[in-house]
Structure formats: structure tokens, C-alpha cells
Chains A and B, each alone.
Chain A
Amino acid sequence: MVPIEIRDVTLVYDTPGGKVPGVRDVSVSIGASEFVCIVGPSGCGKSTLLNIIAGFLSPAAGEIRIGGKPVTGSGMDRGVVFQDFAQLFPWRTALGNVAFGLEMKGVPKEERDRIAREQLRLVKLEKFTGSYPHHLSGGMQQRVAIARALAYNPSVLLMDEPFAALDALTRDDMQRLLADVWRETRKTVIYVTHNVAEAVYLADRVVVMSPHPGTVKTEIKIDLPRPRDPLSVEFVECQKELLRHLGHDAGETKAVNGKAKS
């Protein structure tokens, strides 16, 4: 797919209480078809960074290039999956939701239904093409959202804690499914999470951010073979290392640890 170049990106939020730094001087290079997780405590700017890459926010300084092209707004080279289940359009069936991007592209109806069906098969929802979102469980809704973001074939997939609101068992299933989908589609993925185990399970590389202001603290390569076994010694070692990097911010450590165990 395509590489992503994030260079010296800075964003400051204007709030009634004054200027609050969101992210400062963030630089990350992401290779084509790489799966990168951005991890950090709340307030570290990881979602802000993702929103800048998605084009929803424009940075005060710095620049982002996707496949060499500078980002100036949202575009169809990127698919976005949010945390909130409500991201799906309730008035459209699963198929209608997945076909939305293709419809915007002007793809004829038969063609887009065929592609949407294919995408729903990829996330194992081929039996639910005609269901409305409110009849689907949270995990199924997030799978529809993933299929929707992939349907118009963007080269980059941006995910903002897509499984954070799911129960632990469903989350495990979804992580496996996402790993499969990624292996099949070879998208470049940027995945924001505060769940350490999730990051170690999914990522080629983890970018650790720290708050106030949001900066990149370190990057860790995860060299474990796939599919990964969360119970293996190496996996647990990786988690420990990642936690150590997160652990310096004493106040936040507990929260991060707690999430990792859950």
C-alpha cells in the first residue's frame, strides 16, 4: 500500500480556559502495509493525532504526507473507524452502510452491492447484509464499520479505539478478525488504543506517546511471529516492556495497567 510521513506536527486547542497543547512536534514514519499502534494515557494526544491524519483537524505546524501527497482534508485514500457504535447510519442496512463510500464515488448500484457483500463476508457478516444497525450487537456493528471503511478500497485504515467499548471476550475475537483482515488486505493501518495487550497483539510497531503536551516518547518494534499467542512468554515480555515505557508517568500507570489486565 502506501507509506505515511508525519513531520513535526503540532496542534494547539483553543479553549475558553486558554490554549491547551494537543500534540507537539510529532514525527513518525510509517511504512507501506505496516500496522502501527499508537499507545498512551488519556490526554496524550493520540486521538488528536489520528484526527489530524484523517484530515478532520488541521495542524498548526508540520505536515503529513500519505504516499507522498500532503494531507489537506479528509480523502478517500483513508478509511476511518471510530470507537462509538453510533458511527453507522441507522437508516441504512449493513449493506447500505458498507456501500456508502462506493455510492459517493459514483459506483453503479449492482457493482457496489457486490463489493459491499464481499466486504461483509470478509468480516464474517454475510448473513446480516439486510439488518439495520440497531438489530446488531456492538461487535457486529464495529465489524460493519470496518467493512464500510474498507469497501471503497482506501490504502490507509485509521482506527480510533474501535474495540474499547466491547466486552473482553468479544474484543479478543475482534482483534483476531482484524489481524486476519489486515493480512488479507495489506492496508497501512494506524490504530489508536490504550490497551497494551491489544497493541502487542496487533502491531508491527508501537508508538508510545506521553501527555502535556502530547509527544512521541518512544517507538517499540514488535517482532513476534503471527498469529501471535497472548499467553506465550515472549508476548508477555513485550507487554512488560511496553508497560515500562508507559510507566514513567506515575499517575497514569495504574490506569494503563488496569486496562491491560482487563
Chain B
Amino acid sequence: MGNDHVMTEQGQRTRSIIRAVVTLAAAAALYELLARSGYFAPALLPTIPVIVRTLIAMIANGTMIEHAAFTMYRVMFGFGLAIAVGIPLGILMARFHRVENFFLPLVSALMPIPSFALVPLFMLWFGIGNLTTILIVFYAATFPMVFNTWSGVRSVNPLWLRAAGAMGADEQKLFWKVIIPGASPFIITGMRQAFLRAWIAVVGAEMIAASDWGLGWVIFDAKEFLNADIMLASLLVIGGIGYAFERLVFGSIERATVQRWGMVRMAKG
């Protein structure tokens, strides 16, 4: 019976991969048709083989990898900061009323401001380069982290706290052994959303606040030379890395933890 379960789970994953490939192939075919229709200038709407050649060339000469590495560095730095600040702050807000009273209005007021709107201001304050882009990423990623952690801690089953208390757990043990794992479905969701927002923010920030390196900068720079193929190649890389993180990194974390524990379920059918 256990084997059946694994088999069907694997089968489902294979099927979902096939479905994803079919969808992407259809979209690509449609684009190719449009690009070859002759209605648009080839320089503005390059065909897929042209884009792929550009991409391979940029990977081969190392520039694309370096651009991606710069972007990754900024994202991971800002995202890491957001986790380091967001999780403790969310927990404190959920545990202490006064912290909640102070930070909740602040979080609610700052969260809707698009990080992109802050880029010019941050440039004035912090100049052009890594500091500004990292801070923009940090700004974009912190709020989903705070918000989800705060919700997660509040949703921890009080029965777990009671049971743990009855078994002699002190505040510190309660925190590490019950509250953190109990809130983990929300914390993981928060990380997912935070990464997504970080990834969107970094490209925007790099367009105006970075010089020479970064995927966002490449795209913005390419417009000067009408290099639509470079723009599209960079977009492919941006989409690809984002997709890989979402599906591989966060998907595996979820499967290894909250899904395995039955705290979240896979969608059926």
C-alpha cells in the first residue's frame, strides 16, 4: 500500500511536468509564429533560435553567468536579511501585544508601497550599487515574512502549548520545539512569497540603481542598442531561476517538512 502511494505521487508529478511542458511549448510556438509572420521588425521581435543563440553565447563567454551571480547575490543577501528580521519580528508581534500594537500599523502602512517606487529615494540616500539594490530587496521581502510569521504563530494550536506545558516545557523549549514547527506552514509560505517579491524587486532596482552588472541592468542597458534578443534572453534567465527556486527549493522544503507531517495537503485531482 505504501508503494502504491509513492507510485501515484510520482505519476502525478510526471503528469504535472508533462502538462507544464505542453503549456510552455504551445506558448513558444505561438511566439515563434508571431515573430516569423513578418508584421514586426526581426530586431524587435527576434525568433526563438536567435534568442537561444544569444543566450548560449552569453553563457559561453561568462557574462550572463556573472550578471545572474550579481543578481543572486543581491537577492540572497536581501532575502536573508528579511528572514533574519521578519521571522523574529513576526513572532514577537504574535506573542506580545505591545510589540503588535506598535508594529502592525507600520507594517500595514508600509506593505502596500511598491518597492520600485522607493528606488529613486534609496538612490539619493545610498547611491548606485549593491547597497541600494539589497535594501530594496530587503524592503520587498520583509513584509510577507513578518505577516505570515505573525499569522502562523497566532494559528498555533493552543492544545500543543498546553500539552507541552504539561510536559514541563519552559518558554524557550516552547518556542523552539512547539511554536516554530507549529507555525512552519505559514513561515514556509512567507518565505515563498518573500522570495518571489525579492526576485521581482531586484530586477526593477537593478534597472535604475545598478551599474554594469545584474540581470535587470542588462535588460535596461540593451534597450540603448535595440538588442531585443539580449533582453529576451535575460528574461528567460530571470524566469528560469525564479521557477527553479519556487519549484525545486521551496517545493522540496515543503515536501520534506509540512507536507510530510500532514500539516498541508497536496491538491487532489
Contact = CB atoms under 8 A, between A and B. Distances in A.
Interface stretch (A99-107, A213-221, A236-244): A99-107
Interface string B146-169: 000000000001011011111111
A209 to B, nearest CB: 22
Nearest to B180: A91
Contact of B163 (A82, A133, A152): A82
A87 B177 CA distance: 14
B167 A101 contact: yes
A132 interface: yes
B262 interface: yes
B142 interface: no
Interface in B166-221: 166-170, 173, 177-178, 181-182, 184
What class of interface size applies to chain A in its complex with B? 20 to 34
Interface in A82-99: 82, 84, 86-87, 89-91
Contacts of A86: 157, 159-160
A78 interface: yes
A76 interface: yes
Contacts of A55: 166
B262 A152 contact: no
Given A89-B178, A133-B262, A105 B163 contact: no
A74 B165 CA distance: 7
A84 B261 contact: no
Contacts of A75: 168
Interface string A120-160: 00000000000011110000000000001100100000000
B173 A104 contact: yes
A101 B165 CA distance: 9
Contact of A132 (B157, B181, B260): B260
Contact of A87 (B159, B181, B261, B263): B159
Interface string A7-32: 00000000000000000000000000
B76 to A, nearest CB: 27
B135 to A, nearest CB: 34
A133 B157 CA distance: 15
Given A82-B159, A84-B159, A104-B173, A90 B165 contact: no
A155 B111 CA distance: 52
B168 A76 contact: yes
A90 B263 CA distance: 7
Interface string B234-269: 000000000000000000000001101111000000
B167 A90 contact: no
A43 to B, nearest CB: 21
B80 to A, nearest CB: 24
Contacts of B164: 89, 100, 104
A190 interface: no
Given A134-B262, A135-B262, A87 B160 contact: yes
B186 to A, nearest CB: 13
- The 8 A-B residue pairs with the shortest CB-CB distance in the complex, in nearest-first order: A134-B262, A101-B167, A91-B181, A104-B168, A80-B166, A90-B261, A76-B168, A91-B261
Interface of A: 54-56, 74-76, 78-80, 82, 84, 86-87, 89-91, 100-101, 103-105, 132-135, 148-149, 152
